[in-house]
Structure 1
Amino acid sequence: MSKERARRRAEREVAQAAEAERRTAAAEREARRDVRRERLTGWLPSSTPAPGRQRGALAEKRRRQVLATLALLVVVNLLLFAVARDPALSGLLLVASVLGAPIVHMMMFRRT
């Protein structure tokens, strides 16, 4: 009987050692994967909001307004760039649109 118990204990120990080795190998693969992912995506902004970023409804409304203003200015600049053949005029229009962006934003989203 004791020989049978010793044999089963030896089998369990072999199985436990194999399982521990498998877990160690999996942990090493996961660590290498995490390092590789961080190396590839470390320069990207994280998907979680920044600690200082406002998360409320008013902040979201303001972000939408700013994005709408920027989208309008990009479209206008692209159209003007397509029409204007002079590079100096295109540059002047680009500078004017950047300087006039706050005015355009105010005119689009005026509080009454």
Structure 2
Amino acid sequence: MSRERARRRAEREAERERRAAEHALREARAARRRELRGRVTAVLPRRVRVARQGGIRARRRRDQNAVIAVLWFITQVLAWLLLDGWAARLAVLVLSILLIPVLVTVVFDRRS
């Protein structure tokens, strides 16, 4: 009986040592990753946070700009899908770029 207990104790201790070795290996890898990340971030410039304007006018302008961008993108996708010639696609691209300020001023009444 005592031999069986000694064998089981030895198995438990071997399993505990194996787990400890795995844990030490994981910790060593994590430490190397942290050190590498620290060296890389020390070289990179710090990120500058730019605060957004917070009023209702700023939010409305962001929403309008998002609508303009989505409509412009949809226009380009439709032009590329529906038009066959490169000249027509290029013409739609150039005209949409040139007409965006005019349409924004007319539709949203921006006088800047």
TM range, smaller chain? 0.5 to 0.7
Query: Given the superposition, is the C-alpha separation of residues 64 and 33 from structure 1 closer, same or farther in structure 2, using an over 3 Å criterion?
Result: farther
Q: Percent of counterpart pairs with the same letter?
A: 23
- 1:34 to partner: Cα distance: 4.5
CA deviations on 1:49-86 (whole Å, 9 max, x unpaired) are 514x4232211211110110111111011111111111
1:1-112 correspondence to structure 2 within 5 Å: 29=31, 31-32=34-35, 34-35=37-38, 38=41, 49-51=49-51, 53-110=52-109
Indicate the structure whose relative CO is greater, using CA pairs within 8 Å and at least 6 residues apart.
1
Contact 1:66 1:105 in 2 (8 A): no
Q: Which runs of 5+ in 1 are unaligned?
A: 1-24
Q: CA RMSD in A?
A: 3.6
In structure 2, list runs of 5 or more residues that go unmatched. Answer: 1-26
Deviations 1:77-104 (A, max 9, x none): 1111111111111111101101111122
